[in-house]
Structure 1
Amino acid sequence: MDLLSLTIGFLIGTATGAAGAYIGDKCTDIRREKLATAAQKKLFSKLWDNHKELLSEMKQDMENPDYKFHRFFWVFQSSSIFNHDGHYLAYHPDKHLSLEHQLKTLESQGFISNISEPGKIVSKYQIHESLVEHLRAQKV
């Protein structure tokens, strides 16, 4: 066996191995992404069943053209005075039973983040895009 044949065989074997590893990794990534998406859909479906009233209101807000790109909302009593320019999203504990616990659940699942300023009476939350996508896709 000459050196040229040995070198060509080595290069072809290396290229085949690298291509196989790349394709295998790509297929694994696609499978993991599908599993993660399915798991998140299942989780959201369960959350929808448990928090239907709040999530239905959020869905209506996300479908309202005035709030289409709003990703922040405030939580305060409906009898409170809130000074804010323009349109804003607000949810009220006196209108939703155990609103605080529902928001903690959404926060623990990564759908919202509490970004309240210390010392403020009004709580402020940020809505993550994954929640917006799930809300818009949810059939009522």
Structure 2
Amino acid sequence: MPRGAARVLGLVVGWLLVLAGLAALVLPGPGLLALVAGLTVLAQQYAWARRWLRPVKRKAFAAAAQGVQSTRNITFSVSGALGLVLLGVPWIVQPPAPGWWPLAERWWLPGGWSAGSSLILSGVLAGAFIGYSIRRFRPGP
């Protein structure tokens, strides 16, 4: 890939990861870790990204380490990741609205496959990050 195209691709990927990380701070998903990934990519090009990377990475890794310190935390985290995946399936399958649904049919599972796939992707990424955190931060026996 030519140098200019590689730079543009890196910038696009970095900014998409930063935006996804910022969104995932308030939405379901591993926000701090996506933010670290995006800043890591952008740090190749920008000094400001290198400055921001260290404190964000420290905070993300501290949260990841704290999240796998106990079996209870791991259980809740894995349950949440699995819940996101299971929650996304109906959006992709699009079953008809049940009889108890009080709103119009168009308000049943709004967003369609894009909402469902983003929920599933968030759950899968969260599961991968949980696995990484367990391997990296979980104290041995």
- TM superposition score normalised by structure 2: 0.30
User: Whose strand proportion is higher, 1 or 2?
Assistant: 1
Larger Rg: 1
User: Whose helix proportion is higher, 1 or 2?
Assistant: 2
Q: Which has the higher contact order (CA 8 A, sep 6+)?
A: 2
- TM superposition score normalised by structure 1: 0.30
